[in-house]
Amino acid sequence: MLAGCGAILAAAGTTWIQAQTPSTAPSQILATDLVNIPGQEALFFMADWRPNQQLPWHAHPEGHEFVYVIQGAVTFEIDGVGSRTVKTGEMLYVRPDVTHRAQNAHDGSS
């Protein structure tokens, strides 16, 4: 099993509901305006998380979030939808203004 998890997260206008942040915070790799949607931009981040590392409950009021997992697995809990684990090569979409959180699905055991 993999000890870490790599994911590309794309979102716009993030609002954190809790003051927690992951110890290895996602780093922004690109920001671009959405030409056909005035006032919104897409933000692209790369994240490399330790076992069980989490992002707190948050929402992107004006942004669409697309997640692509490049290695490992991430479990998302989405308000009103439930829980879903996204594995290597899979994608997830979260609508704007939907509260959600994420956690590296690997617990650190072998």
pLDDT digits (tens, 9 = 90+) for 47-78: 888 888 888 999 887 777 878 888 899 999 99
What mean pLDDT, rounded, does the chain reach? 75
Q: How high is the pLDDT of residue 9?
A: 56
Q: How high is the pLDDT of residue 2?
A: 36
Res. 12: pLDDT tops 50:
no
Smallest Cα–Cα separation from 105: which of 59, 50, 45? Answer: 50
Mean pLDDT of 17-38: 64
CA distance 55 to 16: 9
Tell me which of 108 and 6 has the higher pLDDT.
108
Q: How high is the pLDDT of residue 50?
A: 86
Q: Are 55 and 5 in contact (CB under 8 A)?
A: no
Domains of the chain: 5-104 (2.60.120.10)
